[in-house]
Structure 1
Amino acid sequence: MAHLVNCTPHPVLLHTTTGGPVLLPAADPPARVTDHPTTGYPPLPLPIPVHDRVLGDTVDNLPPPHPDVYYIVSRAVATTCGDRTDLLVPGPLHPLPPTNAPGATILIRYHHSTPYPHT
């Protein structure tokens, strides 16, 4: 049977269609898109410093694919690893009874292309 592993830094509540809500604990360390500092951008007129960073094209702390395992990740991680079909992103959060705690009612799988040509 397939199961879910949370790779985000936050607990994830899923409102499942069977069996009620499921709470997945936060990952430590979470999966993160690599980044590095950059310079040359103009300063912003804000009362707090802004540091500029460039996103990389790799992800740290993401487990390799395993049969029947799906990983809950951020949208940034999922789109960086668009060739992976085992990465899922929580959809919009909705409060549902009995707890009214906001949780995802769908999971999203991102792809770099469609499986068939559009006509």
Structure 2
Amino acid sequence: MELSNYFYRTLIYSEVKGQVHVYEKLPPHSLIPLDPWLGRVIQLADGQHTLQELIDYVASQYQGDIPENYLKTIGSVIERLIESEAIVLSETPHTLPYHLAMPKEHQDPAMTERSIKGTA
């Protein structure tokens, strides 16, 4: 995995009471709750930051007391999200469409529909 790659989400997500969920791509578009590690990466997957920036940022949240298995854990999280196609890697920054740029509850429904259809 090239840490200089940018990463971005491919799923609409939601933040409900501190819990991150993603919506399935195919109908019925069920809401899937994510564990905290997966949810945090989805939240940060804006296409404007590299994997190295993600790793550094999350490590900084531990305020110097980084768990021994941190790199293995975050690497596993990233791999799982790539394998499930919830995030994609890019060699260059990627601008997200409206419907992926923010949590669903912050979106205007009409703009979301146009974005999904590609007419926004």
In proportion to residue count, which structure has more strand?
Answer: 1
In proportion to residue count, which structure has more helix?
Answer: 2
TM norm. shorter chain > 0.5: no
TM range (shorter): under 0.3
Larger radius of gyration: 1
Higher relative contact order (CA 8 A, sep 6+): 2
